[in-house]
C-alpha cells in the first residue's frame, strides 16, 4: 500500500502541522485527566469510606457512567456552552478549554469508580489496624490514598486511555478547527472521510505510539515504586 509509505514519511519528517495536532491532543487529554483526578480520586475515596442511604445506587450510577457515550457528553456540554446556554457567556464553545471540560466529564467517573473500588478493598484490609492506631478520618483517607497510589495509577491510565481515544465529545464541543481545536482523533475522522488516508494513518500510528509510551512510563514508575514500598 503506497499510503503506508507516505504515512511514515509524514511522521518521520516531523511535519509541523502534524506535531501541532499531536501537541494539542496531549495537552487536552492530559489536562482532562489531571482535572478528573482532582475530582475523581477524592470523590471515589469519600464514597468508599462513607455510608449513607442510597450509597449503593450512587455506586451503580457511577459505574454505569464509566460507559457514558462521548457524543452525548459532547452534546450536553455543547448545550451548556452554546451562546444561548446557561454558560454561554463564558465564550468557551469551540475552544480547547471546552474540549478539556468535556473530557473531564468523561474521565472523572472512570477515575472515581476505580478509586472507590481500590480504596474500599484496601480499607477492608486496613480497617482494624488503623482503628487500633486510633487514626482519625482525615488521616485515614490520606493513608489509604497514599498506600493505594500504585493501583490508582492504573485508574489514571484507564482515564487517559479513554480521553486519548475518544472523538465524539471533542469534535462536538471543539469543532475540529484546523490549527486551533484539531486533535489526532478528530483529524483522523476528518481525513478519513476526505480520503486523505496517509495523514489519517500517520496520525493513527502516532496516537497509538503515544498511548503505549505513556503506559510504559507509568508501568515503569509503578514497578520502581513497588520495589521500594511493596
Partner 1 sequence: MLVEARILAGEVAILDGLSLTFSAGPPTVLIGPNGAGKTTLLRAAMGLLPLTSGRVTWGGREQAAPDRRAILFQRPAMLRRSAAGNVRYALAAAGVPRAQRAARIEELLALVGLEKFAARPARRLSGGEQQRLALARALARNPALLLLDEPAASLDPAATKAIEDIVRAVAARGVKVVMSTHDLGQAKRLAGDVVLLHRGRLLEHTPAAQFFAQPRTQEARKFIAGELLV
Of residues 87 and 130, the one with the C-beta less far from partner 1: 130
Taking the CA atoms of residue 191, residue 196, residue 199 and residue 204 in that order, the dihedral angle to the nearest 10 degrees is 60
Residue 95 in grid coordinates? 475552544
- Integer CA distances (angstroms), 164 to 26, 87, 184, 185, in order: 8, 26, 9, 8
Site residues (CB under 8 A) for partner 1, limited to 15-34: none
Kindly state whether residue 134 participates in binding partner 1, applying the rule CB under 8 A.
yes
Stretch that binds partner 1, among 20-28, 94-102, 120-128, 199-207 (CB under 8 A): 120-128
Kindly state whether residue 51 participates in binding partner 1, applying the rule CB under 8 A.
no
Considering only 63, 82, 117, 143, the residue that binds partner 1 (CB under 8 A) is: 143
Region of 91 on the Ramachandran plot (φ > 0 left; ψ -120 to 50 alpha; else beta): left
Taking the CA atoms of residue 125, residue 126, residue 127 and residue 131 in that order, the dihedral angle to the nearest 10 degrees is 150
Measured CA to CA, the distance from residue 107 to residue 213 in angstroms comes to 20
Kindly state whether residue 226 participates in binding partner 1, applying the rule CB under 8 A.
yes
Kindly state whether residue 142 participates in binding partner 1, applying the rule CB under 8 A.
no
Kindly state whether residue 228 participates in binding partner 1, applying the rule CB under 8 A.
yes
SS (H, E, C) 34-45: HHHHHHHHHHHH
Considering only 115, 126, 157, 186, the residue that binds partner 1 (CB under 8 A) is: 126
Of residues 4 and 125, the one with the C-beta less far from partner 1: 125
Residues 190, 174: contact at Cβ < 8 Å? Answer: no
Kindly state whether residue 137 participates in binding partner 1, applying the rule CB under 8 A.
no
Kindly state whether residue 121 participates in binding partner 1, applying the rule CB under 8 A.
no
Instruction: Give the chain's length.
Output: 230
Stretch that binds partner 1, among 17-25, 68-76, 109-117, 145-153 (CB under 8 A): 145-153
Size of residue set near partner 1 by CB under 8 A: 19
| Residues of the shown chain interacting with partner 1 in the complex, contacts defined by CB under 8 A | 125-126, 128-129, 131-135, 139, 143, 147-148, 150, 226-230
Amino acid at each position: 500500500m503506497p499510503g503506508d509509505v507516505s504515512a511514515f514519511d509524514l511522521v518521520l519528517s516531523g511535519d509541523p502541522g502534524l506535531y501541532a495536532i499531536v501537541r494539542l491532543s496531549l495537552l487536552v487529554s492530559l489536562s482532562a485527566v489531571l482535572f478528573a483526578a482532582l475530582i475523581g480520586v477524592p470523590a471515589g475515596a469519600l464514597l468508599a469510606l462513607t455510608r449513607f442511604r442510597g450509597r449503593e445506587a450512587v455506586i451503580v450510577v457511577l459505574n454505569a457512567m464509566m460507559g457514558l457515550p462521548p457524543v452525548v457528553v459532547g452534546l450536553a456540554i455543547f448545550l451548556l456552552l452554546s451562546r444561548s446556554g446557561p454558560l454561554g457567556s463564558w465564550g468557551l464553545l469551540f475552544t480547547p478549554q471546552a474540549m478539556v471540560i468535556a473530557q473531564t466529564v468523561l474521565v472523572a467517573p472512570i477515575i472515581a469508580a476505580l478509586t472507590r473500588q481500590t480504596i474500599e478493598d484496601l480499607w477492608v484490609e486496613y480497617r482494624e489496624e488503623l482503628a487500633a492506631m486510633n487514626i482519625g478520618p482525615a488521616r485515614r483517607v490520606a493513608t489509604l490514598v497514599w498506600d493505594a497510589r500504585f493501583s490508582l495509577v492504573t485508574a489514571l491510565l484507564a482515564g487517559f486511555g479513554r480521553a486519548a481515544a475518544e472523538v465524539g465529545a471533542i469534535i462536538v464541543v471543539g469543532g475540529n478547527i484546523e490549527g486551533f481545536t484539531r486533535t489526532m482523533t478528530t483529524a483522523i475522522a476528518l481525513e478519513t472521510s476526505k480520503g486523505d488516508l496517509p495523514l489519517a494513518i500517520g496520525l493513527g500510528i502516532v496516537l497509538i505510539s503515544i498511548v503505549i509510551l505513556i503506559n510504559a512510563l507509568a508501568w515503569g514508575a509503578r514497578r520502581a515504586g513497588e520495589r521500594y514500598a511493596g
